[in-house]
Chain A
Amino acid sequence: MSDKRVFEMFTNDQQWLADQPEMDPWDEGCQRLAVILDERLADYSANVCSDVIAKERNEWPLYLGRLWQCLGYHWQHAIEGSCNGQTTASGVVARLQKGKGYRRGGKLGGDPLRDMVLAVAMVQKDERAPVVFTEDYQGFAKGLAWKINRRLTANPDEWWYDLLDHLAGYSKPKARLDRFLGRCGLQNWLGTVVWNFLRRWDLPDGGSDGPPIDIPDPPSPKTDGESLEHFKAIVRLAIESLRKKDRLLLALVYVDRLQQNEAAAVLGVHPGQVSRRLKKVLDHLEKTIKELAEERLSKDACVGIFEDLRDNPQAFAEILRAAIEQGREHES
């Protein structure tokens, strides 16, 4: 890539880039920027590729273009977050090298510039890249495999080489790593990609994923059937009238057992809101169910139901589930 073509690459982003102090005058700024990218490329390729990717190499423009794609993305975020709308490329690079970005939380899961060089090297079938990649990420992938299905960890080589093939496209025309844009580090990116890859991985038959969960047979409830049916309907009515987001919150926290800060991240709200909202929702439902139960059930029936639940909550859950299935059959 000639200097002219490098400049063209920057020119596509001139609208926001030209406002940065170090880009003035434009030509000199582009020159400085090209030097920064080339230095990073030389440094990183020395560590992850078989040879340093120098200007003379055919692949140099490809690497430089992808590095700029990554740096430009984070630089724009840095500008958005700065008080005067100005930042320096070297400042952004220094922060990225620490694995920190500019979006909320800022943790990128690795240096995206270094990881971009590794990703391109993998797709370019560099000989050393898969060795570096394996050293860096096989442990992480195995950790995920353990959480997806323990049987995957029995013989990790079985899926690891298929995963490398999926990522780098050794036997396929498409390489998944070609779509790595450097918006985060490879670890964060791989988290999603590897998870889905392993989730779909065909395990050989046999064995099981951990011991079966022992669910006791539900004993007969003390409550009479009619009162119980009324009560289940009351609860269903109260729940189904809740906002969708509140139902999701309850499911994330109580069914899926997410920490409140994790549930907050899924919902895109401040963690402080989760605890308060959860309490409010439960209080509201408690109040609603109480009012409806008092209105529609006798005191004795209420007490019987509560005793059933207290003595065997799992059984109560089974009864509820059965009632819901019946309801679904009715609906369908």
Chain B
Amino acid sequence: MNEFERQETLRKLFANAVNSPIETSDPDSKHIIDDDDLLLDWSTGDLAKEQHEAILDHLAACPSCRQEIAKMVQAGALVLPETDDSPETDDSPFVETTIPPGAPSPDRQRTPARNDRGPVVALLVVAAALLVAFIWSNSGGGGSETGRTLAMVQKELDAGRSVEAFNTLDELLNADTSLSGEEKARAIRLLEESGYRTARDRLANEDFSGVSRIEGTVAERSEPSARLLNLRIQAERGETKEHSLSGRTSLTRDYGYERDGQRVIKDFTFPQITPTIKRITKELREAVAQHPDSLDLRLNLGQFLLEQSDFARAAEQFAEAVRIDPSSALAETGLGLALFRQDKPETIEKALPHFRRAVELEPDNRETNENLAVCLMRLGRTEGASAYFKKGER
């Protein structure tokens, strides 16, 4: 039985347990689910630690509240605060009572009566889980099972279920110390891939702390991943795109140039070097030094410098990006922008071939066509420009 079959078996058992309610809760006790204000305090993070503990105590003892809370969380009706603290290793004991080896027959040794159903459901759940685990370990499962698990993870990944794949791999690597070198290497490769895809989705959904967590989890186990590091820095910047430059490539709409290539200065402000900017710059530079051939990091460092009006250094980064991937229209556009924005005749002339190359790479892109047209206009080549303006408008 592989990990997926094991999980599926557990799921069925739990579903059965849930669908067979045993109403033994005290009907007079106050249910937290009925207390809107308490739930709202929980949601906004305004609960005292003792209150939170009291809620957990209640949930452990009241399956109806627990199930309703779980449904609310899943439905997005109850948005609970994330815990950003660094993960702690919880080495506290598992058991409240110890079971002596020579204890009487367990069917006669019963813990004190409980007036709730929570442990009952958990009992079903965990008993099933453990029995399945027991079968697994008694049936000679091991290396080959791990291989099947990894194959299933690959299928999950291929089917676009990267979160599930990531969680399974995380658990597998946490748990199984008997992985062979090859299996471990494969698991780590898949962890990086699923982590990257999950983190990219989280970034798009503004779950920035989620991105950091994933990057941290992968970094614990594998060689540093440039693309995950890039996503983590993007999350720190509060960016939702993998490449900040994408969506900010238009000379006219994003950088305040008229169609004739003249700059319209409306809201000019001096670039401010705040501690955050310094920190991000430092992080990006260190990341690039660590991964000099990462297109993602070069593009984002270039864009970050462009944002700070440090055009010459931005051009250096984009030139490296072009070297790394000559087929990247974004890199060519970035280089064109960094040169054009230096606002000198010679640099604008140098920007032209890069804007032209970007059009060759992405001929149907509105921004690449318009940028080339604007650059041509600025250089006084108005006849050539109109065709690209038209193409951009199409």
Q: Which residue from B59, B78, B97, B174 sits with its C-beta under 8 Å from A275?
A: B174
Tell me how far the C-beta of B83 lies from the nearest C-beta in chain A, rounded to whole angstroms: 5
The answer on a CB contact under 8 Å between B123 and A236 is yes
CB-based nearest A residue for B76: A191
Q: Tell me the residues in window 181-238 of chain B with beta carbons closer than 8 Å to chain A beta carbons.
A: 206, 209-210, 213, 216-217
Q: How large is the interface on A (under 10, 10 to 19, 20 to 34, 35 or more residues)?
A: 35 or more
The yes or no answer to B179 lying at the interface (CB within 8 A) is no
A209 to B119, CA, bound (A): 27
User: How many residue pairs bridge A and B at CB < 8 Å?
Assistant: 327
The yes or no answer to A79 lying at the interface (CB within 8 A) is no
Give chain B residues whose Cβ lies under 8 Å from the Cβ of A237: 99, 106, 109, 111
CB-based nearest A residue for B17: A317
Give chain B residues whose Cβ lies under 8 Å from the Cβ of A193: 36, 40
The answer on a CB contact under 8 Å between A245 and B46 is no
Give chain A residues whose Cβ lies under 8 Å from the Cβ of B50: none
Give chain A residues whose Cβ lies under 8 Å from the Cβ of B61: 244
Q: If A107-B79, A195-B77, A246-B94 touch, does A233 touch B106 (CB 8 Å cutoff)?
A: yes
The yes or no answer to A196 lying at the interface (CB within 8 A) is yes
The answer on a CB contact under 8 Å between A255 and B81 is no
Q: Which residue from A213, A258, A276 sits with its C-beta under 8 Å from B174?
A: A276
The yes or no answer to B272 lying at the interface (CB within 8 A) is no
The yes or no answer to B361 lying at the interface (CB within 8 A) is no
Q: Which residue from B17, B36, B37, B107 sits with its C-beta under 8 Å from A255?
A: B17
The yes or no answer to B290 lying at the interface (CB within 8 A) is no
The yes or no answer to B24 lying at the interface (CB within 8 A) is yes
Q: Tell me the residues in window 287-328 of chain A with beta carbons closer than 8 Å to chain B beta carbons.
A: 288-293, 295-296, 302-303, 305-306, 309-310, 313-314, 316-318, 320-321, 324-325, 327-328
The answer on a CB contact under 8 Å between A191 and B77 is yes
Tell me how far the C-beta of A174 lies from the nearest C-beta in chain B, rounded to whole angstroms: 13
Q: Which residue from A236, A271, A276 sits with its C-beta under 8 Å from B106?
A: A236
Q: If A104-B82, A191-B77, A273-B88 touch, does A248 touch B128 (CB 8 Å cutoff)?
A: no
The yes or no answer to B360 lying at the interface (CB within 8 A) is no
Segment with Cβ contacts to B, from A30-38, A117-125, A261-269? A261-269
Convert B83-118 into 0s and 1s, putting 1 for each residue whose CB lies closer than 8 angstroms to a CB of A: 111111110111111110100011101110110001
Residues of B within 8 Å of A, CB-based: how many? 106
A331 to B119, CA, bound (A): 14
CB-based nearest A residue for B35: A196
The answer on a CB contact under 8 Å between B126 and A285 is yes
The yes or no answer to B178 lying at the interface (CB within 8 A) is no
The yes or no answer to A189 lying at the interface (CB within 8 A) is yes
The answer on a CB contact under 8 Å between A306 and B138 is yes
Q: If A242-B95, A306-B138 touch, does A247 touch B130 (CB 8 Å cutoff)?
A: no
The answer on a CB contact under 8 Å between B174 and A279 is yes
Tell me how far the C-beta of B356 lies from the nearest C-beta in chain A, rounded to whole angstroms: 38
Q: Tell me the residues in window 22-52 of chain B with beta carbons closer than 8 Å to chain A beta carbons.
A: 22, 24, 33-34, 36-37, 39-40, 43-46, 52
Q: If A191-B79, A192-B36, A265-B80 touch, does A252 touch B70 (CB 8 Å cutoff)?
A: yes
The answer on a CB contact under 8 Å between B213 and A280 is no
The yes or no answer to B144 lying at the interface (CB within 8 A) is no
Q: If A103-B45, A199-B68, A241-B98 touch, does A310 touch B1 (CB 8 Å cutoff)?
A: yes
Q: If A244-B60, A270-B88, A296-B105 touch, does A285 touch B66 (CB 8 Å cutoff)?
A: no
Interface-centre pick from B77, B81, B105 (highest chain A CB count, 10 A):
B77
Q: If A244-B57, A251-B121, A281-B94 touch, does A258 touch B74 (CB 8 Å cutoff)?
A: yes
The answer on a CB contact under 8 Å between A192 and B17 is no
Convert B361-377 into 0s and 1s, putting 1 for each residue whose CB lies closer than 8 angstroms to a CB of A: 00000000000000000
Give chain A residues whose Cβ lies under 8 Å from the Cβ of B107: 229-230, 232-233
The yes or no answer to A129 lying at the interface (CB within 8 A) is no
Give chain B residues whose Cβ lies under 8 Å from the Cβ of A105: 79, 81-82, 84, 209
Give chain B residues whose Cβ lies under 8 Å from the Cβ of A286: 130, 133-134, 137
The answer on a CB contact under 8 Å between B40 and A189 is yes
Q: If A191-B79, A268-B52, A272-B217 touch, does A104 touch B94 (CB 8 Å cutoff)?
A: no
The answer on a CB contact under 8 Å between B126 and A282 is yes
The yes or no answer to B309 lying at the interface (CB within 8 A) is no
The answer on a CB contact under 8 Å between B10 and A254 is yes
The yes or no answer to B312 lying at the interface (CB within 8 A) is no
Q: If A109-B79, A215-B19, A270-B87 touch, does A313 touch B9 (CB 8 Å cutoff)?
A: yes
The answer on a CB contact under 8 Å between A248 and B123 is no
Q: If A270-B88, A286-B130 touch, does A265 touch B167 (CB 8 Å cutoff)?
A: no
The answer on a CB contact under 8 Å between A292 and B92 is no
Give chain A residues whose Cβ lies under 8 Å from the Cβ of B14: 254-255, 257
Tell me how far the C-beta of A295 lies from the nearest C-beta in chain B, rounded to whole angstroms: 7
The answer on a CB contact under 8 Å between A306 and B56 is no
The answer on a CB contact under 8 Å between B130 and A313 is no
CB-based nearest B residue for A235: B127
The answer on a CB contact under 8 Å between A316 and B128 is yes
The answer on a CB contact under 8 Å between A332 and B113 is yes
CB-based nearest A residue for B20: A321
Q: Tell me the residues in window 282-332 of chain B with beta carbons closer than 8 Å to chain A beta carbons.
A: none
Tell me how far the C-beta of B393 lies from the nearest C-beta in chain A, rounded to whole angstroms: 32
Convert A195-210 into 0s and 1s, putting 1 for each residue whose CB lies closer than 8 angstroms to a CB of B: 1100100000000000
Give chain B residues whose Cβ lies under 8 Å from the Cβ of A275: 167, 170-171, 174
A157 to B17, CA, bound (A): 36
CB-based nearest B residue for A200: B34
Residue ranges of A at the interface with B (Cβ–Cβ < 8 Å) = 103-105, 107, 109, 143-144, 147-148, 179, 183-184, 188-189, 191-196, 199, 213, 215, 229-230, 232-248, 250-252, 254-262, 264-273, 275-286, 288-293, 295-296, 302-303, 305-306, 309-310, 313-314, 316-318, 320-321, 324-325, 327-328, 331-332
Known contacts A230-B105, A266-B69, A325-B22, then 15 further A-B pairs from the complex at CB < 8 Å, ordered by chain A residue: A107-B79, A107-B206, A192-B72, A236-B123, A247-B60, A269-B88, A269-B90, A270-B88, A272-B216, A282-B133, A289-B127, A295-B101, A306-B134, A306-B138, A317-B124
Q: Give 9 A-B contacts (CB < 8 Å), ordered by A residue.
A: A188-B79, A194-B77, A199-B68, A235-B131, A254-B126, A256-B70, A265-B83, A270-B88, A272-B87
The 4 closest A-B pairs by CB, nearest first: A256-B70, A272-B87, A191-B77, A233-B107
